[in-house]
């Protein structure tokens, strides 16, 4: 066993050394670092200048009728050279003053738009400083596999940008009784005070997503993956809101007790809903959306999430061993 590290930690660092290429020549002076550590140092040097603090104060009235001011601090990061900051959701009504803080400098900002369900907002710095470094919202061609490295740079409390290392641990579109609007990536990195809104990277330096929810009981957090994040930001820029379709039908993922194959089954349909009007019935199996085969609840929620308002989507369903297609009009009502 390494004299300074526990067995698990030493295995983790050994894996880093094996899985990650050595850093470029500009890092060769870091002779004390193993190759994996050099790669992480490189990621920090590339991106820590993009990470900022987002601060805002909201006035509230307590039970005694007294006015109080609550200060919220969260992380965020620049996504373009014009001073657009991506962070967790913020108040958009008049009153709260938003400030972006970086290296002791405070800049006034205004909200462009915010979506509470995805917990994502974009802000605009009133007077952007020169030479802004930013992070591209370009999704990778492939999702990082479970077990791969995840590397966050957060801005906790009044501390400077802070690197945190973990692994990808899962992908879910719900947790307990909470349904997410799309599939979130679960990572083995805890999210403490003021760390929501932090960027998370894969080991190759591509943006994996942004932190939106904490799971303190298992030292983990959820991130919105970059492909979904790009879709959210586009809608916030263009429409000042994110479209969240309502089907008004309960869809459950079930396993066939004989074959163990999983499928989507309509559990119930709301009265006088669009789903009932097109003839969707309890017991129907949903086989596909727009010609793409689906069998899991994650795929179903993602298909709805990437749809457009007031557009029809084509569902392939099975009823009494017969397949048929129906068109469902998507609406937020």
Q: CA-to-CA distance for 73 and 205, rounded, in angstroms?
A: 26
Which of 3-7, 8-12, 101-105, 222-226 is the most confident on average? 222-226
Residue 189 has pLDDT above 50, yes or no: yes
Q: Is residue 64 part of a domain?
A: no
User: What integer pLDDT is reported at residue 33 of this predicted model?
Assistant: 58
The CATH number linked to 285 is: 2.30.42.10
Helices assigned H by DSSP within 35-181: 35-47
Q: From residue 148, how far is each of 18, 52, 153, 225, 265 by CA, in Å?
A: 13, 26, 17, 14, 33
pLDDT, tens only, 251-262: 999 887 776 788
Tell me if 208 is assigned to some domain.
no
Q: What is the DSSP letter of 126?
A: S
Q: How far apart are CA 41 and CA 126, in angstroms?
A: 32
**Phi–psi pair at 164, nearest 5 degrees:** -140, 140
CB-neighbour burial class of residue 221 (10 A; exposed 0-12, middle 13-18, buried 19+): buried
302 domain-assigned: yes
User: Dihedrals φ, ψ of 279, to 5°?
Assistant: 95, 15
Q: How is the chain split among helix, strand and coil, in percent rounded to 5?
A: 20, 40, 40
- pTM score, whole prediction: 0.85
Is 204 within a domain?
Answer: no
Instruction: Output the pLDDT for position 61.
Output: 77
Residue of 329 and 186 predicted with greater confidence: 186
Tell me: pLDDT of 26 over 70: no
Least confident of 68-72, 178-182, 242-246, 256-260: 256-260
Identify whether 124 is part of a domain.
Answer: no
pLDDT in the model for residue 15: 46
Residue 174 lies in a domain: no
Average pLDDT for 163-188: 96
Report which secondary-structure segment, H or E, holds 170: strand 162-175
Quick one: CA torsion of 23, 29, 33, 35, rounded to 10 degrees?
20
Confidence band for 93, pLDDT divided at 50, 70 and 90 = confident
pLDDT over 90 (residue 300): yes
Please answer whether residues 263 and 253 qualify as being in contact, where contact means their C-beta atoms are separated by less than 8 angstroms: yes
**Where in the sequence is the domain holding 258, given as residue range(s)?**
249-329
pLDDT at position 112 is 95
Task: Identify the H or E element spanning 101.
Answer: strand 98-102
pLDDT of 164: 96
| pLDDT tens for each residue of 236-250 | 999 999 999 988 889
Count of the separate structural domains present in the chain? 1
Angle at which helix 35-47 crosses helix 7-19, to 10 degrees, equals 70
Angle between helices 226-239 and 297-305 (to 10 degrees): 30
Give the whole-angstrom CA distance, residue 288 versus residue 120: 29
pLDDT digits (tens, 9 = 90+) for 28-55: 445 555 667 888 899 999 999 999 999 9
- Residue 159 inside a domain? The answer is no
In a domain, 58, yes or no: no
Bigger pLDDT: 277 or 327? 327
Confidence of residue 225 (pLDDT cuts 50, 70, 90): very high
22: confidence class by pLDDT, cuts 50, 70, 90: very low
Mean pLDDT of the residues in the chain: 87
């Amino acid at each position: 066993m390494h004299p300074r590290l526990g067995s698990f930690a030493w295995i983790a660092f050994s894996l880093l050394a094996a899985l990650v290429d050595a850093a470029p020549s500009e890092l060769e002076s870091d002779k004390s670092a193993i190759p994996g550590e050099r790669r992480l140092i490189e990621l920090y040097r590339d991106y820590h200048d993009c990470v900022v603090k987002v601060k805002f104060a909201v006035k509230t009235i307590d039970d005694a009728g007294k006015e109080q001011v609550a200060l919220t601090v969260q992380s965020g990061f620049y996504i373009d050279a014009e001073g657009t900051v991506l962070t967790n959701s913020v108040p958009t009504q008049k009153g709260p003053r938003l400030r972006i803080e970086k290296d002791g400098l405070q800049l006034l900002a205004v909200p462009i738009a915010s979506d509470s369900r995805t917990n994502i907002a974009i802000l605009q710095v009133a007077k952007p400083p020169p030479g802004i470094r930013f992070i591209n919202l370009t999704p990778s061609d492939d999702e990082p596999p479970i077990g791969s490295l995840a590397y966050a740079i957060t801005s906790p409390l009044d501390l400077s940008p802070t690197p945190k290392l973990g692994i990808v641990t899962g992908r879910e579109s719900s947790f307990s009784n909470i349904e997410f609007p799309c599939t979130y990536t679960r990572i083995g990195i805890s999210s403490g005070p003021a760390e929501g809104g932090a960027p998370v990277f894969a080991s190759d330096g591509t943006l994996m997503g942004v932190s939106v929810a904490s799971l303190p009981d298992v030292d983990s957090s959820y991130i919105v993956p970059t492909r979904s994040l790009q879709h959210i930001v586009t809608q916030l820029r263009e429409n000042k809101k994110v479209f969240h379709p309502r089907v008004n039908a309960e869809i459950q993922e079930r396993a066939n007790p004989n074959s163990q194959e999983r499928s989507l089954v309509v559990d119930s349909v709301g009265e006088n809903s669009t789903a009932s009007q097109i003839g969707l019935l309890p017991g129907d199996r949903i086989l596909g959306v727009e010609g793409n085969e689906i069998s899991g609840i994650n795929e179903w929620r993602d298909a709805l999430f990437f749809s457009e308002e007031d557009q029809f989507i084509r569902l392939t369903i099975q009823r009494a061993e017969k397949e048929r297609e129906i068109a469902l009009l998507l609406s937020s009502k």
